[in-house]
Amino acid sequence: MSGNSGPLWQLWRFFAKKLHGLGASAFRMAVEVTDLVVPGQCPGCGAPGDLCSGCRKELRAVPVRFSPRAPVRARAWACGAYAGAHRGIIIAAKERGSHRARELMGMVVLAALRRLVAQGEVMPPSITPIVLVPAPTRRASARQRGGDPITLACAFAARQEPGVVVVPVVRTESSTKDSSELGAQQRRANLSGRIVPIVGVGSKKLSEVRQLCSDATVVLVDDVATTGATAAETELVLASLGVRVDLVVVVARA
């Protein structure tokens, strides 16, 4: 493609216009486009074929505002409950390393953001850029799964929408335990002090990140929120780096 006026570019602009801010219908269209990519098994429920109509419908649910038990300052939104298709794609992405499921997670997050833009909760990314900050993952578990699903999902979302970028800022130290069996207080204790910046404190990179985020809507993105402990701790760490979180978006709320 050469320049900004070729036929492919015009086609892209046509789709970008169609997709922008249309909420559910944009999501349906985008999902149909990605359907062409990988046939096989429904990532939501395992039925033969690709994403089945039941899961597709579930994944189009309107995002719901929620109040995490942990003290999260930013407004928090869940794309669905941790059940059915939402749970299916999270497990397929995390435990089976499904590329398709990661893309769907990215689409679900993007559809939620588009809807929040349409509702006036978030400025359109064409006016104020949206920075997606993936919630921290343990390095070891990300390696086992062939890459961190949330970062990959955010990257997929960003590729679909001009004005949306992904900026990984934090990770968890490898001594952090898997929190799935822990209660609320234990989760916070497990995470306290263990979410660390990826970018060097005082580095040029950090000042660039801070600058980028100060002029953007900063969205912390995670797969599942149980108590909100990860979001609360991440928010504190980001605040210590001079980065304010405006919004938390999770694929599912447990």
- Residue numbers at the binding site for Zn ion (CB under 5 A): 42, 44-45, 47, 52, 55
Closer to Zn ion at the Cβ: 6 or 40? 40
Nearer to Zn ion, 55 or 191 (CB): 55
Nearer to Zn ion, 42 or 219 (CB): 42
Q: How far is the CB of 58 from Zn ion (least distance, A)?
A: 8
Taking the complex as a whole, the smallest distance from the CB of residue 82 to Zn ion amounts, in Å, to 16
Question: What is the C-alpha to C-alpha distance for residues 24 and 38, in angstroms, rounded to an integer?
Answer: 22
In the complex, what is the shortest distance from the CB of residue 16 to Zn ion, in angstroms, rounded to a whole number? 28
Q: DSSP letters of 178-246?
A: PGGG--HHHHHHHHTTTEEESSPTTSHHHHHHHHHHHTSEEEEEEEEESSSHHHHHHHHHHHHTT----
Place of tokens 């789709």: 15
Distance in Å, CB of 52 to Zn ion, minimum: 3
- Nearest-angstrom CA–CA distance, 160 and 214: 23
**What CA–CA distance (Å, rounded) separates 185 from 85?**
29
Q: With contact defined as beta carbons under 8 Å apart, do 44 and 61 qualify?
A: no
Degrees (nearest 5) of the Cα angle 178, 227, 190? 40
* Calpha distance 93→101 (Å, rounded): 5
The minimum distance between CB 49 and Zn ion, in angstroms, equals: 8
Nearer to Zn ion, 59 or 247 (CB): 59
Nearer to Zn ion, 44 or 68 (CB): 44
